[in-house]
Chains A and B, each alone.
Chain A
Amino acid sequence: MNRSILINVLLVVVLPIVLLLIFPYTNQHAGDLFLGFFPVDKTVSFIALVLLISVIVKYAYEQKSHASEIREVIPRKFIREGIGRCAEMGRPCMFVPGTSSPSDVATIAGLAIGSVTIDEAIDLDVFIDSPQRDYMVMPITKSLLEERAMLKGRPDYPSTHSDVFLASTVQFTHAQLVAGRLERDRHGFAVFAGMFWAEMLIMLEAATMNGAMVLSGVDSVVQMPFAVAASDKALLGEELYAAGAQLSEEKRLVNSVVAQDLIKSLLFTALIVGALATTIQSFF
């Protein structure tokens, strides 16, 4: 017990201070190489990364579940409600996992939210409409759907209850197609999560105007105001990344969200101690 408190104090209080102290030194030596290959100015990010990786991996593979320790970013009930709405009204559900490639991490976060949506949709026999923009994300979404359907014992589901396809690789053409479908089929629930640019508002607004319940998730600062204004629930920034992990209800993913917060407490220490220290320093 005492040992774990000691480790926590070392991690959350002492380590950020140490990093704050060595940062100016490493910054002065930008361009220098240690042992002929290690760039000195990357020392702080190296230490921070090693720490981050070990904390996340340690938490993820812990036996104990930390699910009760975090507040709900978005209740699974919200998605269930949206899908339920589709089922009641006999309307399809729209899902767009961003308009970027899988090398944008937000896309993967969007897919994680999508997999929960798909799970709920299969349970209630709701049609899934998913026009995609990236030609790599489209096959991923399709296999995601097929795998989930297989797990639920519904191997025929993708062919009878879904339309996952590549709409267009052009930004606004894709948006136009999504908007057109939303107007025509009047989806009951629409999920837009991932990396979006300006076209996002067209889709969000077309969905809302046609009476869909909208869940959006964006990590781009520029698009956030529009996501807030045009959807029923907007997952902003880090919420997008945490939501997919938390909604999955998989122990390892949920635990890694706790690890994320541990890193943030470290950042709080750096912010508070750093600002206070430099302020005190400025008086001398």
Chain B
Amino acid sequence: MQRNIPLFLVFILGIIYVLLTFIETSWSEGAVRLASSWAPLLSMWAIVPATYVTLASYGRRLTKRDRNPTTQKAILAGVTYVAFFTMLISGLKSNAEGSLFDWMFRNIQIPVTSTMFSLLTFYIASAAYRAFRVSRAHTSLLMVFAVLVMVTNTGMHTYIPFGQYWNEFSTWFLMTGNVAAKRAILIGVAVGMLATNIRIIFGIERSWMGGGA
């Protein structure tokens, strides 16, 4: 019975909003705007239980009540706690430029995040290396084409035999073969998305509410 209330809401709102996209009047546009202005307010509270769960999980480490407790884990969990509350308290006070919140964000968070982003190159290289070594038929073809593009893009193709043809081929393939692949994938993805959306609206797909029939 209790589970029927959310299912009913999804169904009713889903149907209403499908129909609204096919109605062009001032009130239908207002209703669509309503959805986008309500959505953040409806979802913002979720951060409270979510953050609570993380703090509880690290709290267990801090008090050594986790799976295999060590002192190091407890100390590190302490670091997380201190960082969180420093950030929270200073941020609630002020987030203006020059505040502690802003300083920590700029000088701790940003360097680390941008480093992780830049490390992507290493991970790509390692993925590429393994793809070559494992040499499953599919991934080999993928890597051959990847190298082809990299070679022609850096201008190195002038040093290898038939380099000019490689270059022309990869440019041509980018304009035709790649466009075809992208379109076909998008059509497939769209059918999948539509079907999943419809399954959600009609209560066929229930993994979002914990699954079960």
Q: A-side interface residues toward B, CB under 8 Å?
A: 33, 36-39, 42, 46, 49, 52-53, 56-57, 60, 101-103, 105-106, 108-109, 111-112, 114-115, 127, 132, 135-136, 138-140, 142-144, 146-148, 151, 163-167, 170-173, 175-176, 198-199, 201-202, 204-206, 208-209, 219, 221, 224-226, 228-230, 236-238, 240-242, 244-245, 248, 250, 252-253, 256-257, 259-260, 263-264, 267
Contact = CB atoms under 8 A, between A and B. Distances in A.
Q: Which 8 A-B pairs have the closest CB atoms?
A: A241-B192, A147-B210, A238-B188, A172-B116, A135-B50, A238-B192, A166-B50, A205-B123
Contact of B109 (A56, A173, A256): A173
A132 B191 CA distance: 27
A256 B196 CA distance: 9
Interface of B: 18, 21-25, 28, 39, 43, 46-47, 49-51, 53-54, 57, 67, 109, 112-114, 116-117, 119-120, 123-124, 126-128, 130-131, 138-139, 142-143, 146, 182, 185-189, 191-200, 202, 204-205, 207-213
Contacts of B193: 105-106, 219, 241
B196 A135 contact: no
Nearest to A131: B54
B113 A244 contact: no
A50 B55 CA distance: 47
Contacts of A226: 124, 127
A151 B212 CA distance: 9
18 contacts: A38-B23, A56-B202, A111-B208, A115-B211, A139-B50, A142-B53, A147-B212, A166-B51, A176-B113, A176-B116, A219-B193, A226-B124, A229-B142, A241-B189, A241-B196, A242-B192, A244-B207, A252-B204
A173 B208 CA distance: 25
Contacts of B47: 135, 166
Given A52-B194, A230-B127, A256-B204, A237 B120 contact: no
Majority secondary structure, A binding face: helix
A11 B126 CA distance: 49
A163 B208 CA distance: 19
Contacts of B128: 229
Nearest to B200: A108
A260 B189 CA distance: 11
B91 to A, nearest CB: 13
B113 A60 contact: no
Contacts of A170: 109, 113
A165 B61 CA distance: 13
Nearest to A198: B120
Given A142-B53, A166-B54, A224-B185, A172 B192 contact: no
A138 B50 contact: yes
Nearest to A202: B123
Contact of B207 (A112, A127, A229): A112
Contacts of B199: 56, 60, 245, 253, 256
A52 B195 CA distance: 8
Given A229-B128, A260-B195, A165 B207 contact: no
B191 A166 contact: no
Contacts of B18: 49
B22 A253 contact: no
Contacts of A264: 188, 191
Contacts of A114: 207
Contacts of A228: 138-139, 142
B195 A56 contact: yes
A201 B46 contact: no
B192 A202 contact: no
A201 B185 contact: no
